[in-house]
Structure 1
Amino acid sequence: MTDAVFTGPQICAKEAHEVVAMLKAGEVSRSELIDAALTRIAEVEPAVNATVTLCEDRAREAVMDLAEADHPGWLAGLPIGIKDLSPVAGVRTTWGSLGFRDFVPEESHPLVERLESRGGVVLGKTNTPEMGAGANTFNEVFGRTRNPWDISRNAGGSSGGAAVSLATGEFWLSHGSDLAGSLRTPAAFCGVVGFRPSPGLVSPGPAGNRFHPEAVQGPMARSVRDCALFLDAMSGFDPTWAISFPPPEESYQQTVLRADEKVRIAFAPTLGGFAGCSPEVEGYLRRALELVARAGGVVEEDCPDLPGLDHAYRTLRGLLWASGTGRAPEHIQKHFKPTLAQNIQQGRDLTIDDVIDAQLAKSDLFDRMTGFLAHFDVLACPVVGLMPGPVEEEYPREIDGEPLSDYIDWLKFSFLSATTGLPSVSVPVGLSDNSLPVGIQLIGSHRGEARLLQVARAVEMACGGPLGPIDPVVRDG
């Protein structure tokens, strides 16, 4: 799919499932993988600033103590990255905020514990905007993360460090999380796969809110097959989480291996006029879906009505920020950037009628999407409606000349999946005319991860993917 240059250790260019197979066969050692990852991190970090905290000693101790296990998501000692919103015991965890710049937790997030129990070896923490708010990854603790396809460009957020760590070959798998496209946007901008699972499949969301379904943890990888591997490692029933449910009996990896070209896709380039999309992005997505159709898929332009989506999403988002981050102590909140403080205040200003209307709209939207997806495998739409902007720009102010109202208005394509609780994925479908990655968003049916991954793999194959890792690109001008 690309002629991009990669000069790192060749083991770093392999897909995660290949490296895990090599680990299981004894063809490479866990220590050799740590060495390779550290070599690559040292090579590219000065240019991209993706992996901001390393824990080499902890990782080397972990591989010595790792016991073999028989599990479909067994990672066998593969080094992984963890987003700096999730605590890792004994490792500096900052949430990208000055109030936590020296914080070292004693306990790990439950998802980290699960991944380590399934053979994942945490080697580093990846950069995120402050408290995960925003789709450009920068903060006052570590600075800006840059898009490796053009280091003058935005890498997306809030899982920008994770996406860049994959795109440059620092890690084979990197953990993300998602509310307003926080793993989907950086995946699209950096040419990797970002999967937002159904709420309840992957370990708990915000501490203290065991019923919250909008913010989820999810896998990021360079290929759909690797994403399935990572989802197998992440997923599982958790009795401490009110909305938890178990994965299907067949592993997601086995499901992906049975993917074929016979997919049925509805394409909605603006979600029925809900979100703005530049002609450039729409053109690239149409070109990709033509390839899917030529390969044997069915693509129809269609979209359900989506009344109340904007208000419902913004209300639910406001409740999350006000009830979570907005209850942090004042000595923490005093450092918050203006856009984060604004989000929290919007949540505090909600009325009971706002909440009632949002809940009713959410239920109606779920019914509409469920009925619509009875006729299609997925609803396809942009991840975002424009290509990556300058890294110095916190958020764009317009799309194709149409002004945007605030710092999440350009992320409106992400609202539907988060509001309805439907799984979604960002899949690379090629490069733009100036060699930047283009991603498409696929939204699946209720708890339909297995079929969604199959369709994602069909799209990936039709478009010639996956993309491999690259050296950071410095462009003239």
Structure 2
Amino acid sequence: MLQSWAMTDASSLIVGMRSGRTDPRDVTAETLDRVAASDLNAVVALRDRETLLAEAAAPRPGRLSGLPMAVKDLSETAGIRTTYGHAAFADNVPTVDGPTAAALRGAGAILIGKTNAPEFGLGSHTYNAVYGTTLNPWDRSRSAGGSSGGAGAALAARLLALADGSDMMGSLRNPSAWNNVFGMRPTHGMVPAAPAGDPILHPLSTDGPMARTPDDLELLLGVLAPGYRKQDARPLKVGWVGDWGGAYPMEDGVLALCETALDGLAGPLAPPMRAPDIWHSWTTLRSFSIWQKIKPLWTDAFAAGSKPEMHWEVERGRTLTLDDVTQASAIRARWARRMESVPVDVIALPAAQCFPFDARLDWPKSIAGRSMDTYHRWMEAVIPASLIGVPAISVPVGFHGGLPMGVQLIGKRGRDSDLIHLARQMHRAQPWTEQRPPGILNMPFG
């Protein structure tokens, strides 16, 4: 009978290693074999095999003890290449872990390498000049999403049991939807961030967990966010906003899958804020934040090696005035107050507006016949949560033409547990993540 850790959830795998029934060295060896055999380009910058097996022979204590993991290539990892998907950092090897890598190592995980990401996380399609394109395990001609596309593809293909990601615009939710896994953007501030820049004025990005089950998702959230406390399940009122009153174009099949998955769980909800206002505030604060981060690096040589999306953000960011930023911040504050007063506990809408597109494209230029005027307009549906830093989760809802989709659940600030409980309820009713991508059983098993 075929046996492999890859068919096991992370929580059960960890229990098996703690009890002695499963040898961490075998788990690490099989992980490396599966990564080597994969054609997805999801896990990169692999460390030396013998070194990793030696670490597995003496795992450190912790909640993830002995579990092989790969850290997203936007997060610093001591002794492991961290390129941010940019050629200027192709040989960059940090000497100190960032907060995410430090948390994983501290919990006993064995860091085998990195998961691929687009250049500085820009755009929800994982390709870059250092490692190339990550492919979708459900259809290798399609994008795996991004910017946590490497993590999503690795989870779906059973290369990893757990994965970290990060989410500025929708980088945990979009690739989760496109790879048939769970991904969660926690309440902003719950997961510690690197002590750099202004943590108050423009807190747009946060790290978070990705997994194949809600229990595993909560396990990793507890590691990344030491302050996370599981709250008891409670009856939740869920409001379905769909395409936000027609503001967000949706590819055929997206809304139907999400509505079917929410059958009996959600009632209709009118859009609680004008989509153009949210978009204006978001694009202003995003461009300002990106420019402030990139400004020290922006030499002629760096610019020449950067993709058009980066140039677009820089050109916008460098021309913004104090009034522009102040007005955008005021809109954000208004939306945050309104979110607190909406008459539901959870807002539901699709986690992506289209299914995975051709991996040879840079981004989709139209959805449902509507032209996309920026490189990220096609994922506008994720920004209501991102703008105000409230928790949001992507839950798998099935397939259309063989391609996955997820529904996005947005909760109130600090009510992260509500979303995990709801995701657990939906997973029990229909465990979509138990399905495996084509060819998964043809990969090597230890």
Partner of 1:241: none
- Give a deviation string over 1:193-212, Cα, whole Å, max 9, x none: 11001111112057333334
> Is 1:68 the equivalent of 2:61?
yes
Determine the structure 2 residue equivalent to 1:53. 45
Q: 1:9 to 1:130 in 2, by over 3 A?
A: farther
1:235 matched to which residue of 2? 225
- Structure 1: how far apart are the matches of 2:359 and 2:195? 28
Count of equivalent residues: 436
1:440 is the counterpart of 2:397: no
Could you say which residue in structure 2 is the equivalent of 1:316?
A: 285
Q: Distance in 2 between matches of 1:471 and 1:19?
A: 23
| Counterpart residue identity of residue 108, structure 2 | G
Matched, 1:417 2:385: yes
Alignment of 1:372-451 (within 5 A): 372=342, 375-432=343-400, 434-451=401-418
**Alpha-carbon distance in 2 for matches of 1:191, 1:461:** 15
| Aligned partner of residue 136 in structure 2, secondary structure | coil
* Aligned counterpart, 2:7: 13
Displacement after TM superposition at 1:340 (Å): 1.2
Does residue 1:224 correspond to 2:214, yes or no? yes
Q: Using the TM superposition, give the Cα deviation of residue 420 of structure 1 relative to its aligned residue in structure 2, in angstroms.
A: 1.0
Change (3 A) 1:9 1:205: farther
User: Residue by residue, what CA displacement relative to the aligned partner does 1:349-381 show, whole Å, maximum 9, x if unpaired?
Assistant: 112221111111011000111101xx3231000
- Structure 2 counterpart of 1:239: none
SS of 1:233 mapped into structure 2: helix
Distance 1:301 1:145 in 2: 36
| Alpha-carbon distance in 2 for matches of 1:298, 1:160 | 29
Q: Counterpart in 1 of 2:189?
A: 200
Fraction of identical pairs, as percent: 32
| Contact 2:351–2:405 (Cα < 8 Å) also in 1 | no
What letter is aligned with 2:333?
Answer: S
2:29/2:53 contact within 8 Å kept:
no
Contact in 1 for aligned 2:28/2:56 (Cα 8 Å): no
Instruction: Sort the Cα spacing of 1:286 and 1:30 in 2 relative to 1 into closer, same or farther, 3 A.
Output: same
1:13/1:469 contact within 8 Å kept: no
Provide the rounded CA distance (Å) in 2 between the counterparts of 1:8 and 1:179.
40
- The one of 182, 187, 191 equivalent to 2:180 is 191
SS of residue paired to 2:344: coil
For 1:450, what is the secondary structure of its paired residue?
helix
> How far has the Cα of 1:392 moved from its partner?
0.6
Separation in 1, partners of 2:170, 2:159: 22
Write the distance in 1 (CA, Å) between the matches of 2:191 and 2:138. 30
In structure 2, C-alpha distance between the alignment counterparts of 1:348 and 1:425, rounded to whole Å:
33
Matches of 1:227 and 1:184 in 2, distance apart?
A: 13
Matched residue, 1:328: 297
Give the structure 1 partner of residue 26 of structure 2.
32
Equivalent residue, structure 2, for 1:22: 16
Matches of 1:169 and 1:189 in 2, distance apart? 15
**Distance of 1:461 and 1:386 partners within structure 2:** 26
Cα separation, partners in 2 of 1:322 and 1:415, compared to 1, 3 Å: same
Gap change, CA 1:67 and 1:98, over 3 Å in 2: closer
2:310 aligns with one of 340, 354, 361: 340
CA spacing shift, 1:459–1:300, aligned 2, 3 Å: farther
Which has the larger displacement, 450-459 or 140-149? 450-459
In the aligned structure 2, how far is the partner of 1:443 from the partner of 1:43?
Answer: 37
Is 1:96 the counterpart of 2:85? The answer is yes
Determine the C-alpha separation between the residues in 1 that align with 2:365 and 2:194: 31
Match of 1:367 in 2: 337
Q: Superposed, which structure 2 residues align to 1:254-293 within 5 Å?
A: 262-290=235-263, 293=264
Q: Deviations over 1:13-41 (max 9, x none)?
A: 11111111112211112211101211211
> 3-state DSSP class of the match of 1:123?
strand
Letter of the 1:402 counterpart: R
Instruction: Calculate the TM-score normalised by the size of structure 1.
Output: 0.87
Alpha-carbon distance between aligned partners in 1 of 2:3 and 2:396, rounded to the nearest angstrom: 23
Preserved contact between residue 429 and residue 460 of structure 1 (Cα < 8 Å): no
Tell me, which stretches of 5 or more residues in structure 2 are unaligned? 441-446
SS at match of 1:151: strand
Query: How many angstroms apart in 2 are the aligned matches of 1:201 and 1:351?
Result: 30
Superposed, which structure 2 residues align to 1:92-171 within 5 Å?
A: 92-171=81-160
Matched letter for residue 227 of structure 1:
L
What is the CA-CA distance between 1:472 and the residue it aligns to?
A: 4.8
Q: Residues 90 and 436 (structure 1 numbering): CA distance in 2 closer, same or farther, change over 3 Å?
A: same
Partner deviation per Cα, 1:421-456 (whole Å, 9 max, x = no partner): 101011101111x12111010001111111111112
Gaps of 5+ in 1: 1-6, 237-245
**Given the alignment of the two structures, is residue 86 of structure 1 paired with residue 55 of structure 2, yes or no?**
no
**Which has the larger displacement, 389-398 or 9-18?**
9-18
1:205/1:217 contact within 8 Å kept: no
CA distance in 2, matches of 1:207, 1:442: 30
What does the per-residue CA deviation read over 1:332-353, in whole Å, with 9 as the maximum and x for residues that have no partner?
3331111111112211111222
Aligned equivalents of 2:57, 2:31: Cα separation in 1: 17
1:247 aligns with one of 228, 233, 258: 228
Task: State the Cα distance separating 1:158 from its structure 2 match.
Answer: 0.6
Residue 465 (1) aligns with residue 432 (2): yes
Letter matched to residue 418 of structure 1:
S
Distance 1:445 1:57 in 2: 46
Closer, same or farther in 2 for the Cα pair 1:267/1:169, shift >3 Å? same
- Aligned-partner Cα distance in 1 for 2:145–2:92: 25
Q: 1:401 to 1:321 in 2, by over 3 A?
A: same
Whole-angstrom CA distance in 2 between matches of 1:105 and 1:338: 27
